[in-house]
């Protein structure tokens, strides 16, 4: 998953850069890709969390790299995905869609925190009122939050976004080659997935399945959930307002 903090009163947005899969409460597999989960585009700041193919599908559509409508953020069963958009000029939260179970809102403080490390991040924010510090607190205590902390200062425009723009198949390759394994939800110890696969059948199966998905990706056989009709209509109306050029 991830942890992100949108702090509108202090004009700061921050996020981690780890991609992870929760196989079970006792097995987390993750890779730190340095991927931006924050995208600044056409006066808007988009923030993504959760399901990787969903995130990449939205990012590519926003940037005009695909005509395929952004994928539905899964919500049922396993934790799915969140997509948010903030207007840089007005500081309005223009769009928040996805898995509401993993979002903490505080409208009075202009705060929205999401992801698997949200509770830890909120505790830290209550003490320090600092989005970057809050993401770091989540990194320290949540196995699914990690990597470089990315940020965007809405007031000054200062940021450390690098936009590596990995593809889904590239990320699957990174999981096969460079992922880490943690055997608790706090990520107290990080181990090489390749090494653990020698003695742990679950890890071995995960790496094999990732390789099979990578092959399908290269053949253009990406799997994306279908939109419920009414939800798609609502989201499309919002996107037509925010990004009219994508529908021209």
Does 132 reside within a domain?
yes
Question: The tokens of 216 are what?
Answer: 């399908």
State residue 101's pLDDT score. Answer: 86
What pLDDT score was predicted for residue 145?
96
Please check whether residue 154 lies inside any domain of the structure.
yes
How many domains does the chain divide into? Answer: 1
Q: What is the domain extent for residue 37? A: 3-20+33-164
Element (H, E) at 248: none
Low-confidence ranges of the chain (pLDDT < 50): none
Q: Is residue 245 part of a domain?
A: no
Q: List the one residue out of 157, 118, 128, 164 whose CA is nearest residue 12.
A: 157
Find tokens 């942890």 and name the residue.
Answer: 3
Cα 97 to Cα 15, 73, 94, 231, 234: the distances in Å are 17, 8, 10, 10, 11
CB-based contacts of 74-78 (< 8 A; 24+ apart in sequence): 74/50, 74/99, 74/225, 75/99, 75/100, 75/101, 78/22
Q: How far is CA 216 from the centre of its chain?
A: 22
Identify whether 109 is part of a domain: yes
pLDDT recorded at residue 215: 81
Q: Tell me, what's the pLDDT at 221?
A: 61
DSSP-derived secondary structure letter, 109: G
Is 213 a domain residue?
no
Q: Is 144 domain-assigned?
A: yes
Characterise 62 by phi-psi region: left (phi > 0), alpha (psi -120 to 50), beta (else). Answer: alpha
Three-state secondary structure call for residue 230: helix
Separation of alpha carbons 150 and 157, rounded Å: 13
Predicted pLDDT at 33: 86
125: domain CATH number? 3.60.20.10
């Amino acid at each position: 998953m991830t942890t992100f903090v949108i702090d509108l009163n202090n004009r700061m947005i921050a996020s981690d850069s780890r991609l992870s899969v929760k196989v079970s409460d006792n097995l987390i597999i993750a890779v730190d890709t340095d991927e931006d989960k924050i995208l600044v585009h056409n006066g808007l700041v988009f923030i993504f969390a959760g399901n990787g193919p969903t995130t990449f599908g939205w990012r590519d559509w926003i940037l005009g790299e695909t005509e395929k409508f952004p994928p539905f953020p899964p919500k049922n069963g396993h934790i799915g995905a969140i997509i948010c958009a903030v207007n840089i000029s007005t500081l309005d939260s223009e769009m928040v869609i996805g898995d509401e179970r993993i979002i903490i809102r505080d409208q009075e403080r202009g705060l929205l925190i999401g992801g698997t490390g949200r509770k830890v991040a909120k505790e830290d924010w209550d003490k320090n009122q600092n989005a970057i510090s809050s993401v770091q607190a989540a990194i320290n205590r949540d196995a699914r939050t990690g990597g470089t902390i990315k940020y965007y200062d809405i007031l000054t425009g200062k940021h450390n976004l690098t936009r590596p723009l990995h593809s889904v198949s590239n990320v699957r390759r990174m999981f096969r080659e460079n992922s880490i394994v943690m055997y608790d939800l706090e990520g107290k110890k990080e181990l090489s997935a390749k090494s653990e696969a020698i003695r742990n059948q679950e890890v071995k199966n995960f790496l094999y399945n990732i390789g099979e998905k990578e092959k399908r990706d290269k053949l253009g056989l990406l799997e994306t959930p279908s939109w419920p009709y009414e939800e798609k209509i609502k989201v499309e109306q919002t996107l037509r307002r925010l990004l009219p050029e994508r529908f021209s």
